[in-house]
Amino acid sequence: MTTQLEKETFLYDAVVPEVKQNGSAVRPEVKAGKVWGLLRIAMGWTFLWAFLDKAFALGFSTGRLENGGIDFFGPAAWINGGSPTEGVLTYAVHTKGFFEGFYQGLAGSTFIEWAYMLSMLAIGIGLIFGIGTRLAAIGGILWMTIFYTATAIWPEHNPFMDDHVVYAIVLGGIAYVGAGRYFGFGRWWESTKLVKKLPVLK
């Protein structure tokens, strides 16, 4: 006697990862991935501009004269001996409590200034081009935490939601979705032998 087994019909679609010819699974697409890509580039420019303005005194946070003029490449520029961190660490308006003494003790430190400038440059370039996006975003979150606790731990116009907090949340999303793959070189970067060997560089 032969028993015929009927195939069970499922009411949902199974999600099967696409597989390349070499057997490696393709990372699934992210909804609104292009939006995340644009946010990544915008955040990257924010960090890169912080470097450029401090390095060359372009007249936004650095190089602005009391009469409203701009002293381009003047003595306030980092390339001419100006300090990119001393002002904010020493005279931050919203610094309060035990953070005040901590950050003022770091003011003028050569190590802190080089770390700040090089990390602004690296984070900016990494985010703009989508290379090392996760690492750059994590670095950006660390700096947002420092900026928040140094200058705005109690925001002037809001009980707690400062723009540094918003930036940190956006950076977290950029790292989580792998936004370097959209309008960037993230797909190529993640496929390199170096990143496969050291995933922390994603």
Residue percentage of the chain with pLDDT more than 70: 82
How confident is the model over 109-118, as pLDDT tens digits?
Answer: 889 899 999 9
Mean pLDDT computed over 9-25: 44
pLDDT for the residue numbered 99: 74
pLDDT confidence band for 150 (50 / 70 / 90): confident
Give dist(CA 5, CA 116) in Å, integer. 68
The conformational region for residue 130 under phi > 0 = left, psi -120 to 50 = alpha, else beta, is left
Whole-structure pTM value: 0.80
pLDDT confidence band for 104 (50 / 70 / 90): confident
Residue 40 has pLDDT above 70, yes or no: yes
DSSP state of 153: S
